[in-house]
Amino acid sequence: MSVQAAPSAQARREIQGLMEALSTSSCEFQRNGTWHGREEARKHLQRKYDYLLKKNLVDTAEQFIERAASKSSISGRAYQVRCPGQPAQPAAVWFKAKLDASRGSGAPGR
């Protein structure tokens, strides 16, 4: 039986690492047009991740980015991340860069 009901240990570490990267950064997170602090953003993403886990809808860090950290599941509006001294960027781009950096395939950024 090869039914995978949950992310692998590595995927879980990567997803937690992405949320940790946001909550330890000095960046803000925009959701539906409103900027939020990093702790509030992390709590929101954790709720979305928990929901996806319950529904067996997330097996990889890429799926977490795509299904939880990129856009509002209600409005469909893309999330944004704004870090000091840098223009706001789509959250999907920010999280993908963090994932690449954690895997050693991209330049680290903050």
Q: What pLDDT digit, counting tens, does each position of 55-106 carry? A: 999 999 999 999 999 999 999 999 999 999 999 999 999 999 999 999 996 5
pLDDT of amino acid 62: 97
49 closest CA partner among 34, 39, 59: 59
User: Residue 61 has which token pair?
Assistant: 């860090």
- Residue 32, pLDDT above cutoff 70: yes
- Dihedral sign for Cα atoms in the order 39, 41, 47, 53: negative
Whether the predicted model's global pTM rises above the 0.85 cut: yes
pLDDT of amino acid 91: 98
pLDDT of amino acid 1: 39
Amino acid at 42: R
User: Rounded distance, CA 76 to CA 74, Å?
Assistant: 6
Average pLDDT over residues 13-38: 96
